[in-house]
Structure 1
Amino acid sequence: MAAFTAMSIMCTMTTLTTFFHTPAPVVTKLELNQVHSLRNFRDKTDRAVLSFDLDADLSSVFNWNTKQLFVYVVAEYASRTNVVNQVVVWDAIVPTRHEAHLVRTNENVKYFLADQTNELRDADVTLKLKWDVMPVCGQLLQYGAGEASFRLPSEYFGSSTKSKH
């Protein structure tokens, strides 16, 4: 019984050490690089393809209990149909502290910015960097830092394919 009690105390103390860890992520840059296209499709949905620049050092987020980070960029905007629309346009898995300094220039979105109706034209959009801390054990935690706002064009333009850089 004493061994079980000692082990329980050690587990509790080990778990508590993650609460004393204070990450200090630094997002130096998150900004729109270019809107490549804004089109209306046959299904009456709007789709925008864009690229962005990112410089974020998330290495301080890692501690002994961090298995990996799931990092993503969300495009957020309001429309007549919905007060808040949030669309994940890019994501990455960061497996180690050494790979946690993310520098991307003219990074194409993985997933186009889509609206279920045709309300993207002239929309004010805010890009937000977010990440989930995926622990070895314990609760999944979500954080975010960095924002960049821009307005989409008022007219449709461009082709349906994104250019590769």
Structure 2
Amino acid sequence: MYSSIVRLQNTFGFFTTVTFFIAFVISLSDFFSVRTPSVGVLKTTNLQVVRGRPHYYSSKKEEYAIIKFSLDADLSSLFTWNTKQLFVYVTAEWPSAGSQNATNSAVIWDSIITAPSSDHLATIGPIALKKLKKSAGGKPIDPSRGKLSLKNQRPKYQITHPSGQLASQEDVQLKLHYNVQPWVGILTWNQDQDWWNWKALKNGLSKKFRLPALKKKDEGKKKTASTGNRS
């Protein structure tokens, strides 16, 4: 009953209980931190629909959209002492044809913003890492983290559709998403309504827009030929 193995098991069980309790308290503390994420500007700056192979591994030609955008957002309130990193991404969404409730959604840009305590996890170069450490020196939370200012940003990913058609698509919107990844606790995503101290993301949707029609390659040749005949 009082063997070394039993005592070791009791000690390990007590240690595990204390560890889980501390982890629970840490994760619970996030609910007392005020979250007020907001978006100042989210708009398109250039739209283009092209027919071709969107990726080098694409087996066939199809229509794909290239959307450039500008974004000003303040997500700094999402960083607390328990925040490991913040995953931010922008999607283009539009209603699905033939269904009232279904929505098409495609990611066009994403980024990972690390907290000062986890900068070593970021896949960045030594110069950028040195600047991050300097900016966070002596601060538990860097107030500039989470503040995005993108002007005429090129998309990381082109938009495609299983039908292979995207030209002249209407009611398209850009939407900002975020995912808070803590050191201890559950992952939390952008919310549509207020939860006590956690406020819903404001102005996270852009105005609706229409994708341009597909440009024909022969149009430029015809215009050049007609100009040459007149001269």
How does the TM-score come out when normalised to structure 2? 0.60
Task: Provide the aligned length of Structure 1 versus Structure 2.
Answer: 157
- CA deviations 1:124-163 (Å, max 9, x no partner) are 211000011111122111116311121112x20389xxxx
Q: 1:9 to 1:137 in 2, by over 3 A?
A: closer
The equivalent position to 1:39 in structure 2, one of 35, 50, 74, is: 50
- CA deviations 1:91-127 (Å, max 9, x no partner) are 0111135331100010010101111213312212110
Distance in 1 between residues matched to 2:165 and 2:96, nearest whole Å: 6
Q: Kindly report which structure 2 residues correspond to 1:55-134, keeping only aligned pairs within 5 A, or say none.
A: 55-80=72-97, 83-96=102-115, 97=142, 98-123=144-169, 124-134=171-181
* Unmatched tracts of structure 2, length 5 or more: 1-9, 54-59, 116-141, 192-200, 218-231
CA contact (8 A) 1:128 1:147 kept: yes
Runs of 4+ residues deviating >3 angstroms: 3-12
Q: 1:129 to 1:143 in 2, by over 3 A?
A: same
Q: 1:81 to 1:45 in 2, by over 3 A?
A: farther
Q: 1:87 to 1:58 in 2, by over 3 A?
A: same
Q: Kindly report which structure 2 residues correspond to 1:17-36, keeping only aligned pairs within 5 A, or say none.
A: 17-35=29-47
CA RMSD of aligned residues (A): 2.5
Q: Are 2:215 and 1:157 aligned?
A: yes
* Unmatched tracts of structure 1, length 5 or more: 160-165
Distance in 2 between residues matched to 1:158 and 1:26, nearest whole Å: 40
How does the TM-score come out when normalised to structure 1? 0.82
Structure 2 partner of 1:163: none
